[in-house]
């Protein structure tokens, strides 16, 4: 009788603990999300732009949206909003590719995420009139392990799905010239920014007529 009662109590405690943790993302999902946000820091870039222009991203059509809609769009494009969107994508990816997640997280955390993030941030700073920093200078200061991680991410066919998840796809190629990769990178950045903005508009119920 006592053993049965103990089993019931243990079951209740386990159920209660499960309820407390329900909805919490898996630790690997958290790490993958962190790595991808660091790799492509669009939220931080958008926040920097927004801080300089209270009407962004509706500068020319600010009257086409309500104050609530504008605040919603800016929130979706913030650091927190971008991370929230990334995490939802990572959760879906993790469910479809559970056996690959550990190796992919190790690759990102061993250098690819950090180096890509620095290159992207430098490019954004250059475009906004900040100090000129070349990708070559950033890579030149990296360790061999970081560069290997960077090159493996860009070129290894085993990580094609991870590249797609990251947003980079196969836009960059180590066999292309520096100018070709810079052009591809600029086009990719513009495309990703536009996609994120349109997605935010949809989430905040802003009709296309308000921004097209």
Q: Residue 181 has what pLDDT?
A: 81
Question: Residue 74: which residues within 8 A CB-CB, separation 6 or more?
Answer: 50, 56, 57
Range of the domain at 170: 26-210
User: pLDDT digit string (tens) for 6-23?
Assistant: 444 444 434 443 433 444
Q: Is residue 4 part of a domain?
A: no
Q: Is residue 16 part of a domain?
A: no
Number of domains in the chain: 1
Q: Is residue 15 part of a domain?
A: no
CA distance 101 to 162: 9
Q: Is residue 19 part of a domain?
A: no
Q: Is residue 110 part of a domain?
A: yes
Q: Is residue 131 part of a domain?
A: yes
Structure pTM? 0.82
Q: Is residue 10 part of a domain?
A: no
| Alpha helices per DSSP H over the chain | 2-21, 27-39, 42-52, 67-76, 79-96, 101-107, 113-127, 135-140, 144-155, 160-166, 178-203
Q: Is residue 153 part of a domain?
A: yes
């Amino acid at each position: 009788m006592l053993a049965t009662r103990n089993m019931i109590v243990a079951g209740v405690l386990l159920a209660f603990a499960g309820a407390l943790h329900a909805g919490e993302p898996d630790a690997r999902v958290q790490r993958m999300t962190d790595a991808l946000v660091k790799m492509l820091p669009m939220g931080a870039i958008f926040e920097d732009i927004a801080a300089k222009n209270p009407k962004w991203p509706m500068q020319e059509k600010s009257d086409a949206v309500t104050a609530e809609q504008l605040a919603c769009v800016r929130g979706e494009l913030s650091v927190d909003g971008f991370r929230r969107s990334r995490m939802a994508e990572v959760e879906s990816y993790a469910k479809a590719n559970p056996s690959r997640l550990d190796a992919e997280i190790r690759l990102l955390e061993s250098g690819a995420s950090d180096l890509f993030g620095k290159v992207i941030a430098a490019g954004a700073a250059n475009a906004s009139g900040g100090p000129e920093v070349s990708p070559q200078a950033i890579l030149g200061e990296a360790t061999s392990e970081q560069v290997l991680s960077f090159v493996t991410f860009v070129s290894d066919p085993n990580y094609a799905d991870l590249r797609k998840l990251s947003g980079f796809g196969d836009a960059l190629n180590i066999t292309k010239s520096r100018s070709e990769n810079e052009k591809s990178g600029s086009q990719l950045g513009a495309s990703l920014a536009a996609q994120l903005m349109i997605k935010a508009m949809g989430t905040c119920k802003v009709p296309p007529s308000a921004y097209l």
